[in-house]
Amino acid sequence: MSLLGVESPPTSQVRNLIVDLCRQFYAKGWASGTGGGISIRHEDRIFMAPSGVQKERIRPEDIFVLDLNGEVVERALNPGLKVSDCKPLFMHAFNLRGAGAVLHSHSMNAMLASWLFGTHFRISNHEMQKGIAGTGAFDTLEVPIIPNTPHEHQLSDSIEQALNDNPKTQAVLVRGHGAYIWGKDWAQAKTQAECYDYLFEAAVRERQLGLDPLKLKGGQ
């Protein structure tokens, strides 16, 4: 069975899916200014959006194909394109978490939330927490926060350490930058990204109202 679903679709469908998701993420404000990215594992290959391009204008032939070791086995048709600078970070989620899809968001909500906390973003008593695997509405959800670096690939060691130190997390925040979020397949990665973004925004707004997002009590 494919990580994309019950049936194993042709690779053209995976390429088209990445194109569609990039456009959706651009519309959400997660991939503006050529930022952000997405990669999807399909059988023994990883399909990855290119780096430094306008994500809303990506075409299927712009997608890179890698093996499970992260080596490019099929380049984009356009020779001017390069594989995502997020590649080593995506590979950590594939290798350490068995992820089926990983996305990188430049969401304003993620960026702002990263400044509100120390080593971990923390929130509790929010219904949308249930959209994160293994988390209930009244649990305390934690997301590790790592410092930013001048270049994306330089985050590799910090991301790897964060995954090793936080075995249950489904995301990592990069301070002043954005977030990396993954799931068992593209659908879960997308759903969790939407839930995380909601919670990041909730924390920012609650702080503006003088509320502590960790101390709100919504249960009986």
- Whether 114 and 126 have beta carbons less than 8 Å apart is answered as no
Residues of the domain holding 178: 11-208
pLDDT on residue 24: 97
pTM to 2 decimals? 0.92
Is residue 192 domain-resident?
yes
Number of domains in the chain: 1
Q: Examine residue 55 and state whether it is found in any structural domain, yes or no.
A: yes
Look at residue 6 and tell me if it is in a domain.
no
Say if 154 falls within a structural domain: yes
The answer on pLDDT for 3 being more than 80 is: no
In a domain, 213, yes or no: no
142 DSSP 8-state letter: E
93 in helix, strand or coil?
A: helix
At 45-99, the pLDDT tens digits run 999 999 989 999 999 999 999 999 999 999 999 999 999 999 999 999 999 999 9
What pLDDT is attached to residue 122?
97
Residue 219 banded pLDDT, cuts 50, 70, 90? low
What's the mean pLDDT when you consider all of the chain? 93
Q: Is residue 163 in a domain?
A: yes
Helices (H), the chain: 11-28, 87-97, 108-113, 156-165, 186-208
CATH code at position 77: 3.40.225.10
Whether 214 is covered by a domain: the verdict is no
In a domain, residue 3? The reply is: no
Phi, then psi, of 70 in degrees rounded to 5: 85, 10
Give residue-wise pLDDT tens across range 89-132. 999 999 999 999 999 999 999 999 999 999 999 999 999 999 99
**Which residues are tagged catalytic?**
127
